[in-house]
Amino acid sequence: MKKLPLFLSLAMGLISLASCEKEIVEVENPAQNKAVAAATSQNAALPGGTWRLTDMTSSVVLPGSNEVSNTSMFARLKPSLRDNQIQYQEGGQYIENEGQLKQDEDAPQQSTGSWKLNEKGDSLTISIGQSARSYAVTELTANSLRLRTTQSIPQGASVTTTSVFSR
C-alpha cells in the first residue's frame, strides 16, 4: 500500500511530461532573406520594357603582365548592331529585334530564345536555338543593365567585355 502513492506520483509525473508540447521558434536568417529579396527584385527589373545597348568596353590582360588595356567598343560597332532592341519577357522569353538597320537583309527581323537569371541574381543565361551564353550581372536596376563576360584567347591572354544596356 505504501508503494501505491509512489506509483501514482510517478505515473502523474510521466503523464504531465508527455502532455507538454515542445515550442518551435523559427529564427529568420536576415542575410538569406536579403538575398532572396534582391534576386526577386532583379527578376522583376529585367522584364517590362525594351533594352538598348548604350556602351561596350573591352579589357585585355596579357600573360605575365599586370597591365590592362581598356578599349571602348561601342563607337566601333556597326550602326546595324547599335540600334538592336532586346526584350526580356515574363516567363523567360527573350526577343532580340534587329531595329531599323539590319546587318543582313535576308536575316529575320527578330530572334527569339529564352533567358534565366540565377537565384542570386548575379548570372544571366541567354539561349537562342542551340547556342547559350552566360553573363555575369554586375548591375541591374529598373533602367540599367550591365553584363560582363570573360574569354581566354590563344597566347594566354584574357578579354573581358562589359556591355551596358539602358531603357
Measured CA to CA, the distance from residue 88 to residue 115 in angstroms comes to 7
Q: Which range of residues forms the domain containing residue 110?
A: 50-166
pLDDT at 25: 55
Instruction: With respect to residue 43, please indicate whether it lies within any of the assigned structural domains.
Output: no
How many structural domains is the chain composed of? 1
- State percent of the chain over pLDDT 90: 48
Q: What is the pLDDT of residues 114-130, one digit of tens each?
A: 999 999 999 999 999 99
Instruction: With respect to residue 109, please indicate whether it lies within any of the assigned structural domains.
Output: yes
**CATH classification at residue 77:** 2.40.128.280
Dihedral over alpha carbons 17, 20, 22, 23 (to 10 degrees):
-150
Instruction: With respect to residue 10, please indicate whether it lies within any of the assigned structural domains.
Output: no
Mean of pLDDT over the chain: 81
Q: What is the pLDDT of residues 132-167, one digit of tens each?
A: 999 999 999 999 999 999 998 877 888 999 999 999
Instruction: With respect to residue 114, please indicate whether it lies within any of the assigned structural domains.
Output: yes
Of 50, 52, 55, residue with least CA distance to 164: 55
CB atoms within 10 A of CB 4: 8
